[in-house]
Amino acid sequence: MKLLVMGPPGAGKGSQSQKLIADYELTHISTGEMFRRSYERGEEIGKKAMAYINEGNLVDDDITNEIVRKRLLKPDAARCFLLDGYPRTVTQAEALDDMLKEMSSSLTAVINIVVDKDIILERMVGRRVCKSCGHTYHKTFKPPKVEGVCDQCGGTLYQRVDDQLESVRNRLKIYETKTKPIIDYYKGRGLLININGMQSFEAVYKDIQKALRGLR
């Protein structure tokens, strides 16, 4: 299965992806996560990307397409993958089409998680992320067993710089102008599945599973 998970920042893409990759045995490709890891490793590309990210802006299309191309060509992505947060512009969607054509591959479905703005703000401000494994928590909606410590790996939890209010507002504006148009792009190709993201984690996941039934 080759999936794409999209939706506004804070919609729950990462949270749902963590379950999907485990249950459907998919290779997780999150551009946001790749940029953050690259920055932590001190790489030039990570430093460039983080300058955009901390302000809540999108990373340049060429940098983003290149990092995805390299990742998709690795053997573990040949059979099945889940793209989380890519593409985010029509230019990226077109670049992805070209990459998949080259690989004689195609997407199975595009899951679009729909969430209202006021809910998003609450989710972002309370989010905490594991420094070591990237697992996501929420202070109220999904607290770890021990405060500040990751349940999965014991790593330290932190708040992302781009989860501060100003940056979140900017990300939402950019989502409206640059990312929303690709909903129509995939609708036109008959790949789009809209999922109501304004429910519990479990209810959202059940709806996704239902929508994926019979697809491979």
Residue number with CB closer to ligand AP5 (41 or 216):
41
Residue number with CB closer to ligand AP5 (137 or 186):
137
Q: How many residues does the chain have?
A: 216
SS (H, E, C) 67-95: HHHHHHCCHHHCCCEEEECCCCCHHHHHH
Provide, rounded to whole angstroms, the least separation between the CB of residue 143 and ligand AP5: 9
Candidate segments 39-47, 54-62, 72-80, 146-154, binder of ligand AP5 by CB under 6 A: 54-62
Of 26, 85, 150, 207, the one binding ligand AP5 (CB under 6 A) is: 85
> Amino acid identity of 215?
L
Q: Are 56 and 167 in contact (CB under 8 A)?
A: yes
Q: Does 12 participate in binding Mg ion (rule CB under 5 A)? A: no
Distance CA 59, CA 31 (A): 10
Nearest to 74 by CA among 33, 30, 27, 20: 27
Q: Does 58 participate in binding ligand AP5 (rule CB under 6 A)? A: yes
Q: Does 197 participate in binding Mg ion (rule CB under 5 A)? A: no
Provide, rounded to whole angstroms, the least separation between the CB of residue 13 and Mg ion: 5
DSSP code of residue 149: B
Provide, rounded to whole angstroms, the least separation between the CB of residue 151 and ligand AP5: 12
Distance CA 23, CA 36 (A): 25
Q: CA torsion sign, 137 to 139 to 145 to 146?
A: positive
Judged by the rule CB under 6 A, the positions of this chain that interact with ligand AP5 are 7, 9-15, 30-32, 35, 52-53, 57-59, 64, 85-88, 92, 123, 126-127, 136-138, 141-142, 162, 171, 200-201, 204
